[in-house]
Amino acid sequence: MSKIVHCLTTDIRPPPYGSSSKSFITGVTQVDGVLVQVLDIEKVIHGIAPAQIVVQSTELAKEDAEMLSKARILVVDDSQVALQQSIITLRNLGIECHTARSAKEAIDVLLDLQGTDRQINVVVSDIEMSEMDGYALTRTLRDTPDFSDLYILLHTSLDSAMNSEKSQIAGANAVLTKFSSPELTKCLIEAARTVVAQGL
């Protein structure tokens, strides 16, 4: 590595249309007039040292299982590997979810389902995404009357107090660092309790 470049997520664009789902690219940007590809690090590591996605099974109390059944969840992540982790965790809990690979796609899904019996009430979003990151997505949803009451759980692989503070300022209900199935489960039970209490 000869150079590290810091850039804003708003300067990163989604991969070119037609990029394969097997691609290791999550976005592209311009640096000094040169097109630079942004790698899906989780996928690169998984490709070098493949590991099974291990999801610990969680015994749920009947009350928690009933509570979770009321959550209609949208998972947003531009990393296919990370998205798969969340999907497997939810399926092991008996929950099917909607997914999106970008903040823009997430907004489209929310709009499509608004006013239906599948209307989303919980959004679980990665923070580090191209074009619009999890903080910007959260602010956008909070500023949109139809979505301002959604329960928003942000997650990141970067464990720092700054991420927690920025998540709170953006308007997220909770933040999860260092993904683990039990922690995600605990956060989702809390999310379900909140949306049920609010009648969402």
Say what the pTM is.
Answer: 0.76
Residue 56 lies in a domain: no
Residue 109's alpha-carbon distances to 76, 97, 147, in angstroms, are: 10, 12, 12
Do 18 and 111 lie in a common domain?
no
pLDDT at 33: 79
**pLDDT digit string, tens, across residues 20-40:** 555 677 777 777 777 777 776
Q: Is residue 186 part of a domain?
A: yes
Residue 43: pLDDT band (50, 70, 90) is: low
From the list 106, 108, 24, 50, the residue with the least C-alpha distance to 73 is: 106
Describe the crossing of helices 41-48 and 80-92 by its angle, rounded to 10 degrees.
80
Task: Say whether both 114 and 16 belong to one domain.
Answer: no
Is pLDDT of 122 > 70? yes
Q: Which residues pair with 175 in a beta bridge?
A: 154
Residue 4, domain member (yes or no): no
The answer to whether residue 113 sits within a structural domain is yes
What per-residue confidence (pLDDT) applies to 142?
Answer: 98
Q: Of 7-16, 42-51, 88-97, 115-124, which has the strongest mean pLDDT? A: 115-124
> Which of 48-57, 66-75, 94-103, 134-143 shows the lowest per-residue confidence on average (mean pLDDT)?
48-57
Residue 49: per-residue pLDDT: 58
- Residue 11 has a pLDDT of 72
CB atoms within 10 A of CB 42: 20
CATH number at residue 153: 3.40.50.2300
- On whether both 105 and 145 belong to a single domain, the answer is yes
- Its domain, for residue 13, covers 9-48
Look at the chain and report how many structural domains it folds into: 2
Parallel/antiparallel/unpaired status of strands 122-126 and 98-100:
unpaired
